Chains A and B, each alone.
Chain A
């Protein structure tokens, strides 16, 4: 049972720089946890604390039931894949993968077998004799993966392993990492700032902001029930549309049906995802749905879907609409869109927290 448990973990760097505070979560055995958040939010710091490359200044980290705060990286039984791969430039691909095993006094025959196995899985067999600099970016990435899997560690740690690859390769490697992790069943913690990577890889998503956890949960649960404005805006592309509601000012122009929303006196943010806005074709009842009138600035038809870009009531906040299929609307002009009540989100403007309706 190699679960990873963090209990009120914090990190204070020298110079009183607070990078992480009060982080608690538990990754179950075999789980795939993704830490996601904007640059500088402390994801790498947290991962490096789990790896043992950074000291833990507050709280406790345990791996497989053992507190590892004071244990050296090599004794934590983890493997890490770095953003720049960190392959040993002077060693062959084979030696890169074998190095960790050799340091652990694994018999050479066993090393050969494990490296061969990893090379087969990762399709690296033709390159075993080469040096890292004679490989393409994707191949280096695979060697870094291979170096991690030959060790058969209890935990994999990934720090933005795909960010140096081009978009196509990134998509391909993402699938491979996921498949490999399923196959091996090794508990994994993965850091990324790419929300698409986060959504597709995670069993468990941890959204971080300024060193704190914003929300933890399954990716789709977070998508549908963001706990804060930050999560709502961070997850999903294009991001969720946000409309400020201020009781003192009244309902913004172009918006109707919002009168009954439980807006607190300090104001609220109304969130609607682009795909939850639908063209009002004038047929059927409006019912309890919200109606938004947009002045359209631009339309992008990409085939399977059409994006409308516009401003609410011509001068209001900028909104994006994603319609399935192809839109047949002239570029300029005003159009009305409807949103189901079940699909709208309301957040307290002051605290940023979700208001349940």
Chain B
């Protein structure tokens, strides 16, 4: 088909390459900017080839911070963001697996009500319930803690729905075979359901990690101390400088650093999808 029409092949490649360039160029520009010095940037003489100050700039943002704005080493907010995203992703997956398990496999009063209540929370993201949530967190003295940062974001209908949908596709005979093989509900969950859900879990992890990593509004409200800041807020603060020039090369280095963990998570989890699908040996 496509091979028979070289023009179509060339055309579609050109379109794809243009698309990639449009998306990748700003990132590349940020990377180049992060490798120059302040003078070059402020003169607007940015070249397209990386400069000599790469390692110097990165070491500086990581361990010293900017000279003029926050003066905080960025390693701290990076760690905070990482911890927050991990707790959110793992917590969401853990809670959703358990609630989906309960909803699909157990008959209890108000089971459907429970399901619909979970479903309804889809309509109440953090931004909508932000004031009451803030009040509760403050009253519980959870401001400036990881608990306050993550717990309100953990309750998640999306992941519960996804796992429920997946559990419904697991054949009933498998549960019955487990019962006869002497596995109780808990053993069935651990021995069969979890291994079978591995690819869904990996997908969920990627989505939720990025969701956690990119949180802006909630951390902004809930953290006041510098050592509890997340990287997204760190970047934002870096840009607001009074009576001086923004240190763009450092801001760009921080931006690049902030992009890395989600990229690594995607790449690592992608391996897991592929392995889950093609795994042959035990």
Contact = CB atoms under 8 A, between A and B. Distances in A.
Interface of A: 51-53, 72-74, 78-80, 82-90, 92, 95, 99-100, 103-104, 129, 131, 134, 147
Contacts of B139: none
B281 interface: yes
Instruction: Identify the 8 closest CB pairs spanning chains A and B, nearest first.
Output: A86-B173, A100-B181, A74-B182, A103-B182, A86-B177, A90-B195, A73-B179, A82-B173
Given A86-B174, A88-B174, A80 B187 contact: no
B176 A129 contact: no
Nearest to B198: A90
Nearest to A128: B282
A178 B173 CA distance: 24
A83 B172 CA distance: 12
Contacts of B182: 74, 100, 103-104
Contacts of B196: 89-90
A298 to B, nearest CB: 43
B67 interface: no
Nearest to B194: A90
Contacts of A51: 176, 180
A80 B174 contact: no
A134 B191 contact: no
Interface string B166-185: 00000101101101111100
A85 B171 CA distance: 11
A103 B280 contact: no
Identify whether the interface residues of A are mostly helix, strand, loop, or mixed. loop
A74 B187 CA distance: 13
B192 interface: yes
A53 B176 contact: yes
B181 A74 contact: yes
B177 A80 contact: yes
18 contacts: A52-B179, A53-B176, A53-B180, A73-B176, A73-B180, A74-B183, A80-B177, A82-B177, A83-B173, A84-B171, A86-B177, A88-B174, A99-B183, A100-B180, A100-B181, A103-B183, A129-B281, A147-B181
Contacts of B177: 80, 82, 86-88, 147
Contact of A92 (B187, B191, B282): B282
Contacts of B179: 52-53, 72-74
Given A74-B182, A87-B177, 17 more contacts: A51-B180, A53-B176, A53-B179, A53-B180, A74-B181, A82-B173, A82-B177, A85-B173, A88-B174, A89-B196, A99-B183, A100-B181, A129-B281, A131-B280, A134-B280, A147-B177, A147-B181
A40 B119 CA distance: 37
Nearest to B282: A92
B191 A99 contact: yes
Interface in B236-282: 280-282
Contacts of A100: 180-182
Contacts of A147: 177, 181
Nearest to B276: A90
Contacts, number: 60
Contact of B180 (A80, A90, A134): A80
Interface string B186-201: 0100011001100000
Given A74-B182, A92-B282, A99-B181, A82 B195 contact: no
A103 B187 contact: yes
B180 A84 contact: no
Contacts of B181: 74, 99-100, 103, 147
Interface string B144-184: 00000000000000000000000000010110110111110
Contact of A80 (B176, B191, B192): B176
A86 B282 contact: no
Nearest to B187: A103
A100 B178 CA distance: 8
Nearest to A103: B182
A95 B191 CA distance: 11
A189 to B, nearest CB: 14
B126 to A, nearest CB: 36
Interface hub of B176, B177, B182, B196 (most chain A Cβ within 10 A) = B177
Interface hub of A51, A82, A87 (most chain B Cβ within 10 A) = A82
B198 to A, nearest CB: 8
Interface hub of B180, B192, B281 (most chain A Cβ within 10 A) = B180
B30 to A, nearest CB: 43
Nearest to A130: B280
Given A88-B174, A90-B192, A129 B282 contact: yes
B195 to A, nearest CB: 4
Nearest to B177: A86
Contacts of A74: 179-183
Contact of A78 (B180, B183, B192, B281): B180
B180 A79 contact: yes
A73 B281 CA distance: 32
Nearest to A99: B181
Contacts of B183: 74, 99, 103
A86 B180 CA distance: 11
Nearest to A87: B177
A88 B177 CA distance: 9
A323 B192 CA distance: 55
Contacts of A72: 179
Contacts of A87: 177
A101 to B, nearest CB: 9
B116 to A, nearest CB: 21
A250 B281 CA distance: 74
Contacts of B191: 88, 99
Contacts of A131: 280
B192 A82 contact: no
Nearest to B174: A86
